[in-house]
Amino acid sequence: NAGVTQTPKFQVLKTGQSMTLQCAQDMNHNSMYWYRQDPGMGLRLIYYSASEGTTDKGEVPNGYNVSRLNKREFSLRLESAAPSQTSVYFCASSEGRTGTDTQYFGPGTRLTVL
Amino acid sequence: AQSVAQPEDQVNVAEGNPLTVKCTYSVSGNPYLFWYVQYPNRGLQFLLKYITGDNLVKGSYGFEAEFNKSQTSFHLKKPSALVSDSALYFCAVRDIRSFGNEKLTFGTGTRLTIIP
């Protein structure tokens, strides 16, 4: 089991460029999440998907879009990158069957927007 | 609304001494509480969680946490610190009444440094 995988590991963009961060899990989990981590601010939820075919906004969704491609994959898209989106992005997944499920995290994508 | 506070940005402990990383929470109903650890350039790893029952929860790597409802706290503890425990620790909370919506709220993190 690879768990939660993310690509790419690092990315540098110029302001206005677009990109998609990919996430996949092999644990047959129903729920998937995208977070961003900034110094002194902890993790903040961008979007989540409770199950295949559904997505909902989290705490900081502006400037992002998501796609739950299938049960395994959940992608995050930046349509027009801004320096404020420089951050480390984490994908996570959980079983989504009870309210007590543990979230499992990927290794992260470090994004710099110049 | 749910929130969690980690009042200390940095905690330094000598190797072999007991360690405590503090966490307090706020929820409307009853909480589900989690601790995660992040090593440099890695994702978060699950340590332990409190759902219900015994207030003392044991987790990975010898860590434990005590749920205190009256003080709305969930402090992480270890009896004897190891240098390898040095990492960034996150507390997280979810309101039990938000069933079907599994959003966790994370604290800002506490950097734990174990001094040899």
Looking at CA atoms only, how far is residue A43 from chain B in angstroms? 6
Tens digit of each residue's pLDDT (9 = 90 or more) over B17-76: 999 999 999 988 888 999 999 998 888 999 999 998 899 999 999 999 999 999 999 999
Mean pLDDT computed over every residue of chain A: 93
- Closest-approach residue (CA) in chain A for B1: A59
Looking at CA atoms only, how far is residue A35 from chain B in angstroms? 10
Asked if residue B102 has pLDDT above 70, the reply is no
The candidate with the shortest Cα–Cα distance to A45, out of A19, A66, A20, A26, is: A66
Asked if residue B97 has pLDDT above 90, the reply is no
Name the region of B109 (left: φ>0; alpha: ψ -120 to 50; beta: rest). left
Mean pLDDT, to the nearest integer, of A15-22?
A: 97
Count other Cβ atoms within 10 Å, centred on residue B34.
27
Across the interface, whether the CB atoms of A102 and B49 are under 8 A apart is answered yes
Across the interface, whether the CB atoms of B102 and A40 are under 8 A apart is answered no
B42 chain-A contacts, CB cut-off 8 A: 107-108
Q: Which two tokens stand for residue A106?
A: 């990927």
The H-or-E segment that residue A68 falls in is: strand A64-68
Mean pLDDT, to the nearest integer, of A29-43?
A: 91
Across the interface, whether the CB atoms of B100 and A50 are under 8 A apart is answered yes
The chain A residues in contact with chain B (CB within 8 A) are: 4, 31, 35, 40-45, 48, 50, 58, 90, 92, 94, 96, 99-108
